[in-house]
Amino acid sequence: MFKHDIIIQKYGGTSVGSPERIKAVAQRVAQSAKLYKHVVVVVSAMGDTTDDLIGLAKTMSSSPSSREYDQLISTGENISASLLAIGLQEIGVPAISLTGPQAGVKTENIYSRAKILRVDTGRIKCELSEGQVVVVAGFQGATENGDVATIGRGGSDTSAVVLAAALGAEECEIYTDVDGVYTTDPRLISDATKLTEISYDEMLELASLGAKVLHPRSVECAKENQIILHVRSSFSQEEGTRVKEDSQMEIQRAVTGITLNQEEAKIAILKVPDQPGIAGKLFTRLADVNINVDMIIQSVEQDHINNITFTVNADDLAQAAAITQAVADELGAKGVVTDDNIAKLSIVGVGMISKAGIAAQMFEVLGAKGINIQLISTSEIKISCVIEKQFAKEALVLLHSAFELDQKIGSPS
Amino acid sequence: MFKHDIIIQKYGGTSVGSPERIKAVAQRVAQSAKLYKHVVVVVSAMGDTTDDLIGLAKTMSSSPSSREYDQLISTGENISASLLAIGLQEIGVPAISLTGPQAGVKTENIYSRAKILRVDTGRIKCELSEGQVVVVAGFQGATENGDVATIGRGGSDTSAVVLAAALGAEECEIYTDVDGVYTTDPRLISDATKLTEISYDEMLELASLGAKVLHPRSVECAKENQIILHVRSSFSQEEGTRVKEDSQMEIQRAVTGITLNQEEAKIAILKVPDQPGIAGKLFTRLADVNINVDMIIQSVEQDHINNITFTVNADDLAQAAAITQAVADELGAKGVVTDDNIAKLSIVGVGMISKAGIAAQMFEVLGAKGINIQLISTSEIKISCVIEKQFAKEALVLLHSAFELDQKIGSPS
């Protein structure tokens, strides 16, 4: 029987959340071992293990050193990796587990958010050539002196993509508890449809906008290395969504997906005298305390008098408002107003590059229902609007339908 | 202030059984860091962690491969090591945790019961020279290709002794939940006294006879490398018992300690025709099913007719009796009798080498009270007697007093 060469699979914490689930994963991996010559599996820690380990660390110290913290929490992935290897052996599949350092994953010499520098694939290739399924502990690698370093958010997905690139795999399967990427959150709109494919850039916009399926970092890494990400459910056999470079000759529709973010808040400084460096001053102060600013709009109210409006995570509102007030006072601005009663709707699609009028259509759909748009920001493949929170769900339904996202591609419209 | 050069300390699973206990250990280590230039701490896994990990492995497979088993359960010691390092840092003591492989502990290329071959001390010495307390995960090392191998029973104690030898330490402190080695089990005899010192050989006999303070392997390793073992409690500041080469010019008393083992059973084959190889045949069959035989006595009943009597662990009695019956039938022996209503008393002391009559004294003490001795076996520094179980406690009290073990050495007798 023809066998494909190699596949990389990544199973998240829910997929390996209990011995029973690990056994189910072993069965899936066993199937893949019949289809592929070589199978490499990357696993996250079981369910709450990482949180339990973090809890232990916090009991010992409110600020554990990042070196010891990594040494500690990396054991979570080691445990699930060896349990999966044992589960595979139990059903007759030769398998070996490797920690990140054993697998040759090399990181920068920093801890807790190290970047992966390279993979020395010797050990993995040796095990693969002996017919072993290789189970690698995700989220970790070794620093120069052999210490464990964890690689921060989106870690295990990124581990999997990096291994796919290093081993020359075309595709990396990301098994999770949802069955793919949808046109919008299916918990909000029941006729949201699953996408068969989505481009890296669209996925990046969606990921950044809050679709929690993939961390932007792993998508960037996949784009950089041209690895196809196949997001699918570990609880079903159905194909999921492939994240890849655009392959279609013509884009079929302008908008691929819509996201709704109701966790932001708006801050405005009113009537700021126009001096160079004002925005820099304000946003540096916010960055200093790790407050992420999302949308920023500066508008001229009259000659040399500006309004600056921006959004932050609602959790950061109080702190951000205090800092903004202090800066406003220094600048002689008229005042600061805040509003957490907002929602941000974003439409994303590479198709909007070649189709004019997508922004206009979005504004018209909202305007026709009397929904006022407070802020707008755009990129090549994304248009975001901030509206009043009470209209959020209605606006999402309107736009999802207006851009025909409730219809499967290829079905008669 | 004068500082001693280096100390190795080992803390067992009870001593690091909870975050609170690890904090208490950190305080002790901090004190030692004031007295010694260099401190190396070896830790076991927290309380039940190892059992929990074994339970997980058993859920996946009734016979997990030893390579994956080691990869899995070694995480237990890694967790306690990093937690202790965090705890030390929290109270201002520079510290770093190292796994067995990171610490340079090299083992044979087998798993679950690997022997330690050597320690490449480069990394530890480097960390020590930078003023760090080095916390090493016990019970583990690296095989030639860098995989984790656990080192079997008595593992963490042995790790500590090996590190002491490799780093040129004179003494290795074994912190446990008892405060030293006693003349006999203090739970059985309240006036058992704590020994200030005991020789390696005596400790080996006591350890083999069931005193659970130290595993014989770690004592052998300490003897081989002339490392003083200081067994003491992690819950008190008192000095414990030092296990070391005899240093006294004259041994003060003939008997150092007495052990009582009530968990053995006796099997006898009666009237075996005397042929070469009988004992070999029987004991090979028992060894084949991993039954340990303790005492063996062969007595001649009449010309060319022998009785063979031996003891096994009571748990193995049924299986051992069945095997013995089968062998007896093959040999044409008259029969097999078993008895689990026995107790084994052993007196241990290097002093008995130079003092005649210790055995006689033991037999007389028992005989005077009408306690019948069923079996006797002796080594240079040990005499064991099997008696009926109902006399066990009485006999222990009699002997403990007869050999003056209830009196502190040096106190008026």
A107 domain residue, yes or no: yes
Q: Minimal Cα–Cα distance from A113 to chain B, Å? A: 18
Taking the Cβ of residue A24 and every Cβ of chain B, the question of whether any pair is shorter than 8 Å is answered with: no
Residue-level pLDDT at A55 = 94
- Stated as kind and residue range, the H or E segment containing A264 is strand A264-273
Domain boundary among B152, B177, B202: B177
Asked whether B198 and B141 are in contact (CB, 8 A), the reply is: no
Residue-level pLDDT at A407 = 82
Residue-level pLDDT at B87 = 98
Half-sphere exposure of A12 (CA within 13 A, CB side): 21
SS3 (DSSP) at A7: strand
Non-local (6+) Cβ contacts of A57 within 8 A are A64, A68, A69, A72, A73, B82, B83, B86
B12 lies in the same domain as B160: yes
A355 domain residue, yes or no: no
A411 domain residue, yes or no: no
User: Which residues 54-73 in chain A show a CB within 8 A of chain B?
Assistant: 56-57, 59-61, 64-65, 67-69, 71-72
Asked whether A174 and A231 are in contact (CB, 8 A), the reply is: yes
Taking the Cβ of residue B79 and every Cβ of chain A, the question of whether any pair is shorter than 8 Å is answered with: yes
B110 domain residue, yes or no: yes
Q: How far apart are CA A12 and CA B77, in angstroms?
A: 25
Q: How far apart are CA B189 and CA B397, in angstroms?
A: 7
A194 domain residue, yes or no: no
Strand pairing of A171-176 and A4-11?
parallel
Composition of chain A by helix, strand, coil, percent to 5: 35, 30, 35
Asked whether the beta carbons of residue B86 and residue A65 sit closer than 8 angstroms, the reply is: yes
- Stated as kind and residue range, the H or E segment containing A50 is helix A49-60
Give chain A's domain count.
Answer: 1
Q: Minimal Cα–Cα distance from B284 to chain A, Å? A: 32
E strands in A274-404: 293-302, 305-313, 335-339, 342-348, 373-379, 382-388
B168 lies in the same domain as B31: yes
Amino acid sitting at position B150: T
Instruction: Name the packing angle between helices B392-402 and B358-368 (round to 10°).
Output: 130
Residue-level pLDDT at B411 = 43
Partners of residue A96 in chain B, C-beta under 8 Å: 67-68
B306 lies in the same domain as B395: yes
Q: For testing the chain B interface, which of A43, A54, A71 should be mutated: the one with the most B CBs within 10 Å?
A: A71
Partners of residue B87 in chain A, C-beta under 8 Å: 60-61
Tell me which residue of B101, B74, B66 sits closest to A85, measured CA to CA: B66
Task: Please return the burial class of B226, using the count of CB atoms within 10 Å of its CB with bins 0-12, 13-18 and 19+.
Answer: exposed
Q: For testing the chain B interface, which of A16, A20, A83 should be mutated: the one with the most B CBs within 10 Å?
A: A83
Partners of residue B145 in chain A, C-beta under 8 Å: 123
Residue-level pLDDT at A351 = 81
B264 lies in the same domain as B382: yes
Asked whether the beta carbons of residue B102 and residue A146 sit closer than 8 angstroms, the reply is: yes
* Global confidence as pTM: 0.83
Taking the Cβ of residue B292 and every Cβ of chain A, the question of whether any pair is shorter than 8 Å is answered with: no
Q: How far apart are CA B358 and CA B356, in angstroms?
A: 6
Residue-level pLDDT at A1 = 57
Strand pairing of B382-388 and B342-348?
antiparallel
Asked whether the beta carbons of residue A72 and residue B83 sit closer than 8 angstroms, the reply is: yes
Non-local (6+) Cβ contacts of B360 within 8 A are none
- Left (φ > 0), alpha (ψ -120 to 50) or beta: where does A315 sit? alpha
Q: How far apart are CA A12 and CA A235, in angstroms?
A: 12
Q: Kindly write down the DSSP assignment for every residue of B158-222, as one continuous string.
A: HHHHHHHHHTT-SEEEEEESSSS-BSS-TTT-TT--B-SEEEHHHHHHHHHTT-TTS-HHHHHHH
Segment-wise mean pLDDT, segments of 10 residues, chain A, 413 residues: 86 94 97 96 94 94 94 97 98 98 95 93 96 97 94 89 96 92 88 91 82 85 95 91 78 84 92 78 87 83 81 93 92 90 92 81 91 87 92 94 81 41
Asked whether the beta carbons of residue A96 and residue B59 sit closer than 8 angstroms, the reply is: no
Residue-level pLDDT at B186 = 86
Residue in the block written with tokens 């491969």: B65
Task: Closest CB to A86: pick one of B68, B79, B97.
Answer: B68
Question: Nearest-CA residue of chain A relative to B79?
Answer: A72
B148 lies in the same domain as B11: yes
Number of H helices, E strands in chain B: 12, 20
Tokens representing residue A216 in the block: 């932007």
Q: How far apart are CA A57 and CA B83, in angstroms?
A: 6
Composition of chain B by helix, strand, coil, percent to 5: 35, 30, 35
B219 domain residue, yes or no: no
Residue-level pLDDT at A277 = 74
Tokens representing residue B397 in the block: 């009290």
Tell me which residue of B15, B31, B4, B257 sits closest to B156, measured CA to CA: B15
B192 domain residue, yes or no: no
Task: Closest CB to B72: pick one of A19, A53, A83.
Answer: A83
Q: Minimal Cα–Cα distance from A135 to chain B, Å? A: 11
Residue-level pLDDT at A220 = 92
Task: Closest CB to B65: pick one of A19, A81, A86.
Answer: A86
Q: How far apart are CA B296 and CA B279, in angstroms?
A: 10
B194 domain residue, yes or no: no
Tokens representing residue A406 in the block: 């409730």
Tokens representing residue A85 in the block: 């290897």
B265 lies in the same domain as B352: yes
Domain boundary among B153, B177, B201: B177
Q: How far apart are CA B46 and CA B48, in angstroms?
A: 6
Asked whether B211 and B259 are in contact (CB, 8 A), the reply is: yes
Point out the residues of chain B with pLDDT beneath 70: 1, 210-211, 247-251, 409-413
Q: Kindly write down the DSSP assignment for every residue of B84-150, as one continuous string.
A: HHHHHHHTT--EEEE-TTTTTEEE-S-SSSPPEEEE-THHHHHHHHTTPEEEEESSEEE-TTS-EEE
Tell me which residue of B343, B347, B380 sits closest to B361, measured CA to CA: B347
Task: Please return the burial class of B98, using the count of CB atoms within 10 Å of its CB with bins 0-12, 13-18 and 19+.
Answer: buried
CATH number of the domain at A123, please: 3.40.1160.10
Q: How far apart are CA A111 and CA A74, in angstroms?
A: 11
CATH number of the domain at B282, please: 3.30.2130.10
- State which residues form the domain around B321: 248-413
Taking the Cβ of residue A30 and every Cβ of chain B, the question of whether any pair is shorter than 8 Å is answered with: no
Q: Minimal Cα–Cα distance from A5 to chain B, Å? A: 26
